[in-house]
Structure 1
């Protein structure tokens, strides 16, 4: 028995900002001199990102017209955890709702009450009763729906949600599982000049994505989960981390991460494919989490890929930045939108990475009926 992704929906908040405009905001916010701003501008240009989305209107304004941040030269007093969580609670559910409705456009005759399981994913905010219960009420899901929350796992968390949905579908042929990922990364801006924080501020963005998974394909196209494999590289556990500080969630994001992934990605791929008796020559399509441009490049080097093979990751990175957990679903959505009947039977190799250092991999297959 297999599980199938039957539909994917995505959503972003209303404020779409050019990457270099964000660079200007950041340079002003941390009071950079001319030399520091020049280096920051080079960093932002090197990311491969053209636009990012945010729930915060402040990023579209200059100091003196802020609603969230303080209208002072140093932004003090800086927003507390409580203030940031209020913002998360205000925006997370509406963004989830938009992604779910976008997903359900593929089901004109489908009632949300038919959904049997709800899996919510987020690492940028939390409260209780949480977004799962609010979505039951907002979307009109059955009140006896089975709910699971996956929190604080970072960019690879969607893989854990898909694993959970896969297990549910395999154990219950009647299951219809809704997976929803939402991250508001931009509410956690930290005004330090350290390399980790400057890099985090340069790539992360806001977004949400939703998928429907079932034990049998419903639409003309569907994608089945064929195999999953996860590994840990403890050498990198201090290079990617996520901690709650007094003034927001603080990301540690080392420039060494691409090298760590480079050292493990080939072995990860071989182990995933081994028990299916496949090789990389049997892979036709790729859906890789764009944790950063350099990460995509080292994966290409190790697996012998070209940039065109990795086009869906680059498209997502360019248009949205890194939205943490929803990002891989944006990549899959971009791939999905290009599917044709001739793609039936093609294998898709997918990766995502996160704190640990965690390396997640997944093999999927395209189905057409």
Structure 2
């Protein structure tokens, strides 16, 4: 048996409006009048009001601290500089989300953690963030460490599946999952369609989750079923590559349509495993990869927009933070649960390169 007993979230201190970021992007990308209008239209239609970054440059019009102060922003930051900055900030942000998580488990001894799973696709170094967390938190040096890297927005699902397996194989397992992404380090200034869209969506954040084989927590979420699907026709519509000037995102406007075409079949397969219907689901935790993705899923499944409100709320206040984002949505839902919700279910989705569609059913348990 496995139980999610706590979820925590954190963001960097620098919070910007979409207008502030758009102003920065227009200048940095040296956009023409027409491209500037197109970028602002994308930003205005994104459903995002605010985003966070470890960099303060996105709210400045001069005196940049990470980017060059030259008019053409050259020399543009190298991949090495971006990864040095990742290493500088990732641990602080990760420990902040863990502290937030531990507030839900007063008295929990972090030394009892048996497994640590670290998820990231926006930075890497070795010894890595996992080792830094062991030192910073005072975890046992024998804690079993697993890294899930470069899988993108759906990676939290892989982490939860691994944690679920650990708990089912070890009755004493206490698994800490940490998803930390600094997407804003990888801003690209070439005015391609992919970059215009990516620059409108992505942001920085961290989420931490505790999964235990046994628990006395008053509220927990029990994974009942996982199911994934590969929509191979979308293989070239979402991708993430390492370039000389940071990590480069490919994100086409066809992604919502591809997800829409496959989400009903995936949902049916998932629900069939626990002999449930969509009408049996009370809550939805959908990764807000973008406003159009949320709308496409609602159309495909016949969902009311109100049922999807947690995803819209996270998108509006934080943007798309890649892997932690779906945990932000779950965190939003959990914060409103009471004993009256015992036995009810949460259906969750996330999407990423592949094109990968992940799904999960969680059962709410209260004691």
TM-score (norm 1): 0.98
Between the aligned partners of 1:218 and 1:130, the Cα distance in structure 2 is: 32
Aligned 8 A contact 2:288 2:312 in 1: yes
- How well do the aligned residues superpose, as a CA RMSD in angstroms? 0.8
* C-alpha distance after superposition, 1:153-210 (max 9, x if no partner): 0000000000000000011111100000000000000001111111000000000000
Between the aligned partners of 2:339 and 2:108, the Cα distance in structure 1 is: 24
* C-alpha distance after superposition, 1:204-231 (max 9, x if no partner): 0000000110113332111110000011
What is aligned with 1:192?
Answer: 190
Deviates more, 1:130-139 or 1:210-219: 210-219
Shift of 1:35: 2.4
What is aligned with 1:8?
Answer: 7
* C-alpha distance after superposition, 1:257-289 (max 9, x if no partner): 000001100000001111211111111110000
Aligned 8 A contact 1:13 1:53 in 2: yes
Deviates more, 1:150-159 or 1:24-33: 24-33
1:330 aligns with 2:328: yes
Count of equivalent residues: 367
Shift of 1:105: 1.2
Q: Which of 266, 269, 282 is equivalent to 1:268?
A: 266
* C-alpha distance after superposition, 1:14-42 (max 9, x if no partner): 10001111011101111123222222111
Equivalences for 1:1-369 in 2 at 5 Å?
2-63=1-62, 65-369=63-367
Aligned 8 A contact 2:3 2:222 in 1: yes
Between the aligned partners of 2:356 and 2:244, the Cα distance in structure 1 is: 26
Between the aligned partners of 2:150 and 2:36, the Cα distance in structure 1 is: 32
Unmatched runs of 5 consecutive residues or more in structure 2: none
Deviates more, 1:129-138 or 1:278-287: 278-287
Between the aligned partners of 2:104 and 2:358, the Cα distance in structure 1 is: 28
Helix, strand or coil: the match of 1:308? helix
Deviates more, 1:183-192 or 1:268-277: 268-277
Between the aligned partners of 2:139 and 2:215, the Cα distance in structure 1 is: 21
Aligned 8 A contact 2:225 2:273 in 1: no
Aligned 8 A contact 1:353 1:359 in 2: yes
Shift of 1:108: 2.2
Between the aligned partners of 2:354 and 2:34, the Cα distance in structure 1 is: 34
Unmatched runs of 5 consecutive residues or more in structure 1: none
Between the aligned partners of 1:19 and 1:306, the Cα distance in structure 2 is: 27
Between the aligned partners of 2:216 and 2:187, the Cα distance in structure 1 is: 41
TM-score (norm 2): 0.99
Aligned 8 A contact 2:101 2:209 in 1: yes
Deviation >3 Å, runs of 4+:
none
Aligned 8 A contact 1:258 1:294 in 2: yes
